[in-house]
Amino acid sequence: MDIEIREFTPADSLLALTLWKSSEGIGLSAADEPERIAGYLARNPGMSFTAWDGETLVGAVLCGHDGRRGYLHHLAVDRAYREQGIGRALVDRCHAALQALGIEKVHIFVYRDNEAALAFWKGVRYVTRDTLELMSASLDE
């Protein structure tokens, strides 16, 4: 199997959404509609990636930064393609893109009950930050 890693483009959004919806542990919202993803990609060019088996999308990840820290969102690999290093290859490409911009630290958000994701992220050098608490505010309420 020859998997190709490519830059995520707005044209990939609908296929990525289908993958994310079929993947456990991915939380989607209105911020993940194709128009919003296109805006994210435009603000973070060359940072997000997809994995392809021929014409079939088998993996996707969004990556961006705020000038100081990097952020990865919605890493998913199709169940039939897991345990082949595709997730790690996507993460490595994101890390390289962030490092090329001088970004030295990257954060992710993982649901506490998503044991498979937690194991994956620990396997690619991520650590739990017990001294921080994630807080959010909804600006549309």
Residue 141 pLDDT: 72
What is residue 84's DSSP assignment?
A: S
- Rounded to an integer, the average pLDDT of 118-126 is 94
Task: Give pLDDT tens digits for 29-72.
Answer: 999 999 999 999 999 999 999 999 999 999 999 999 999 999 99
Share of the chain above pLDDT 90, in %: 94
Instruction: Tell me the two tokens of residue 101.
Output: 């911009």
114-95-62-87 Cα dihedral, nearest 10 degrees: -50
Start-to-end CA distance of the chain, whole Å, equals 47
The pLDDT confidence band at residue 15, using thresholds 50, 70 and 90, is very high
Contacting residues for 4 by C-beta, under 8 A, at least 6 apart: 51, 52
Q: Residue 1: is its pLDDT beyond 70?
A: no
Helix intervals (H) in the chain = 13-21, 34-43, 86-100, 115-123
Could you tell me which residue, 141 or 14, shows the higher pLDDT?
14
Share of the chain above pLDDT 70, in %: 99
The pLDDT confidence band at residue 140, using thresholds 50, 70 and 90, is confident
- 106 forms bridges with which residues in the sheet? 70
Task: Give pLDDT tens digits for 94-111.
Answer: 999 999 999 999 999 999
CA distance 10 to 26: 19
Task: Tell me how far apart the 2 most distant CA atoms of the chain are, in Å.
Answer: 47
Residue 138 pLDDT: 87
Could you tell me which residue, 139 or 141, shows the higher pLDDT?
139
Domains of the chain: 4-123 (3.40.630.30)
Q: Write phi, then psi, for 91 (nearest 5 degrees).
A: -65, -45
Q: Read off the pTM.
A: 0.94
